[in-house]
Amino acid sequence: MNKVDSMSLNPTVKPFVNAVLGRKAIQIVILDVRKLTSVADAFIICSGKSNRQVTAIADFVQRDLKKKGKKPINVEGKKEGHWVLMDYGDVIIHIFYESLRNFYDLEGLWVDAGRLSIESLSESENSIV
C-alpha cells in the first residue's frame, strides 16, 4: 500500500472529504490517482452501514458542495443506495453500502495509487475540518 504525503494532496480535495464526513461515512480512503489516469486526480471511497445512510451521505455531499459552488458532472446509483458514484471532475466520490465495498474492491483495483486515510490526514494536519 502506497502512502501519500498529505502536503502533495491537492487542497481542493478537502471540501469533498469534509462533505463526506458530514453524514458519518465510515472507512474513508483517499486515492491519489493523478499518475495513473487522466479521469480524475483523486478518488474518495467511503461506506455507509445501510442503503439509507449511503443515500443520506450522497444527498448531503451534493447539498454541501452545491453551497460551495461545486456541482457534479454526474451522479449514479443514489436511488438504490448500494454504490453511489459522484463525479466532480477532478474528484470522484464512491459511497458504498458496507457489504458491497469488499465485493467491488476498488482499493484493490487501484493498488498502485497513493493512499491517504482520514486518520493520517488528521494526524499530519491536526484536523481535516
- The reply to whether 129 falls in a domain is no
Domain of 73: which CATH number?
3.30.460.10
**Inter-residue contact 78 to 84 (CB < 8 Å):** yes
Q: Is 97 exposed, middle or buried (0-12, 13-18, 19+ CB in 10 A)?
A: buried
Q: Please tell me the number of Cα atoms within 13 Å of 20 on its side-chain side.
A: 29
Is residue 63 situated within a structural domain?
Answer: yes
Full domain range(s) for residue 81: 2-124
Compute the distance between CA of residue 128 and CA of residue 85 in angstroms, rounded to an integer: 22
Q: How many domains does the chain have?
A: 1
**Residue 56, in any domain of the structure:** yes
User: Which tens digit of pLDDT belongs to each residue from 72-109?
Assistant: 999 999 999 999 999 999 999 999 999 899 999 999 99
Q: What is the pLDDT of residues 3-27, one digit of tens each?
A: 444 435 567 788 998 899 888 899 9
127, 105, 106, 109: which is closest to 118 by C-alpha?
A: 127
